Structure 1
Amino acid sequence: MKITNLSILILAAFSLIFLNSCKNSESDSASSSEEISTEAKTSEGNKSEEAPIILFFGTSLTAGLGLDTAEAYPALIQQKIDSLDLNYDVVNAGLSGETTASGLNRLDWVFKQNVSIMVLELGANDGLRGVSLEETRTNLKKIIEEAKAKNPEVKIILAGMQIPPNMGEEYTSTFKEIYPDLAQKYDLELIPFLLEGVAGDPDLNQQDGIHPTAEGQHILANTVWEVLKDDVQ
């Protein structure tokens, strides 16, 4: 997917703001991981305790930073599932400031559940911080491989991400290609760009220009659902 010129300009303008906010929040992420994840289950308890879990494993984009948990796209996915009377529980395991490295370290903890489907949304913070592309790729590979080792039947949906061009054209374009490359290598379903239709639109993002508003989260939910729906019906 291609970001419009307007999207690029706006994302570049606000990337430093987002980076600073992520650095501040990351220091609190480890200590708050258990608290956030304990509250992350978005179902209202009307399903069987044995219901398979759809795990949304990601960053502040998944956590719904700046919004009520019920407004984040994983909760909106739960609403779609409930409306279709499907027996799945959604768990929002998004954390602000999460990188692929910290996500890899947290994988054991979140997989202490009956994870049937994992939507993997990591890498944006790596890109904004200029983390080595090889390190990002390697961490994502390890997350995918360890998830499959823990549950060989788990279905993994990889959420593609793009970053502003301030890191240079080569870095930006190579970063973008990590996701389709890994999806092909591991035969994963791919969301080409999680923020498609939202990135760069001031009306769909909060004041930081990066994190979607409640309306923007609805668009994210629809984007994810287009890929996820065939796995749950």
Structure 2
Amino acid sequence: MHLVRLSILPLLILLAACGQSADPAPQADETARRATPSAANDDTPQVPVSGPERRILAFGDSLFAGYGVGVENSYPAKLEDALRARGIDARIVNAGVSGDTSGAGRQRLPFVLDKQTDIDLVILELGGNDLLRGIPPAETRANFETMLGELRERGIPVLLMGMRAPPNYGPEFQREFDALYGDLAREYGAELIPFWLETVYQRPELFQDDRIHPTEEGLQVLAIDTVAQVAEALPEPDE
């Protein structure tokens, strides 16, 4: 794949980030629980961790898998730290696989869910590779419908991490793709972050030398930017 400079097509390059795979084997490792949460760039005062353990499944592609930084420094790991800094006893299972399309995720999701117990929330992050490969938005939508239907049947709340199509895909494709996350969130009762890369995609200093994958600092920025929405998406714990 030819790399284009981030300054020219920042959004398209971020979408390409999902497509590179350092290891084709699935990564479903759980992030290590940290005794002392570290959310250095969060202005929210750290509070003691308390309450019941909240188990979150982070299901996505290389943007979750920790490409170039390691699973221990991935977005799910940073997010777990940020949640714990807010006093939430969070444990995040990282089920990010580099290169996954929504179709690959649809096939993989039931197997991953069968291996987990007591999941309080699924963070669903896919679609970038569909864009990279020119998969029709209707097909992407159908794959998400299958995944969201599976999660609804199992009674698991979902937070959708939205993506956007770049304008060079054409206005009709762009409209169809950009609308699907909001439509699906309303149809299936999921929470939604409309474009979860909003705060970094125009900041090239937050990307690795490949100008595609966020650095550890970039992932920290994303975690801090989204932690409040993730916390709000968690259902109230059972009494």
TM-score range with shorter-chain normalisation? 0.7 to 0.9
Q: How far apart are residue 15 of structure 1 and its match?
A: 6.9
Aligned mates of 1:227, 1:143 — CA distance in 2: 21
Structure 1 runs not aligned, ≥5 long: 1-5
Q: Using a 3 Å threshold, how does the CA distance of structure 1 residues 221 and 15 change in structure 2: closer, same or farther? A: closer
Aligned mates of 2:32, 2:182 — CA distance in 1: 29
The aligned residue for residue 25 of structure 1 is 21
State the aligned residue count. Answer: 214
What whole-Å deviation, never above 9, does each CA across 1:95-145 have from its counterpart, x for those lacking one?
A: 110111110111122112121100100111001111011110000011011
The aligned residue for residue 104 of structure 1 is 106
Aligned mates of 2:143, 2:35 — CA distance in 1: 34
Q: How far apart are residue 192 of structure 1 and its match?
A: 1.1
Residue pair 1:99, 1:122 contacting (<8 A) in 2 also: yes
The aligned residue for residue 75 of structure 2 is 73
TM-score (norm 1): 0.81
Which residue, 186, 191, 194 being the options, matches 1:189? 191
The aligned residue for residue 9 of structure 1 is 9
Q: How far apart are residue 54 of structure 1 and its match?
A: 0.2
TM-score (norm 2): 0.79
Residue pair 1:121, 1:158 contacting (<8 A) in 2 also: yes
What whole-Å deviation, never above 9, does each CA across 1:53-110 have from its counterpart, x for those lacking one?
A: 2011001111121112222221112112333443331111111101111101111221
Residue pair 1:119, 1:156 contacting (<8 A) in 2 also: yes
Q: How far apart are residue 214 of structure 1 and its match?
A: 1.4
Which residue, 49, 52, 55 being the options, matches 1:53? 55
Q: Which amino acid aligns with 2:107?
A: N
Aligned mates of 1:58, 1:118 — CA distance in 2: 10
3-state DSSP of counterpart to 2:120: strand
The aligned residue for residue 146 of structure 2 is 142
Higher helix share: 1
Residue pair 2:31, 2:71 contacting (<8 A) in 1 also: no
Structure 2 runs not aligned, ≥5 long: 1-5, 37-48
The aligned residue for residue 45 of structure 2 is none
The aligned residue for residue 3 of structure 1 is none
Q: Using a 3 Å threshold, how does the CA distance of structure 1 residues 210 and 165 change in structure 2: closer, same or farther? A: farther
Matched, 1:210 2:212: yes
Residue pair 1:42, 1:74 contacting (<8 A) in 2 also: no
Matched, 1:41 2:31: yes
Q: Using a 3 Å threshold, how does the CA distance of structure 1 residues 207 and 108 change in structure 2: closer, same or farther? A: same
The aligned residue for residue 94 of structure 2 is 92
Q: Which amino acid aligns with 1:113?
A: Q
Q: Which amino acid aligns with 2:116?
A: Q
What whole-Å deviation, never above 9, does each CA across 1:172-226 have from its counterpart, x for those lacking one?
A: 2321111111111112110010101111321112233332111211121123212
Q: Using a 3 Å threshold, how does the CA distance of structure 1 residues 206 and 163 change in structure 2: closer, same or farther? A: farther
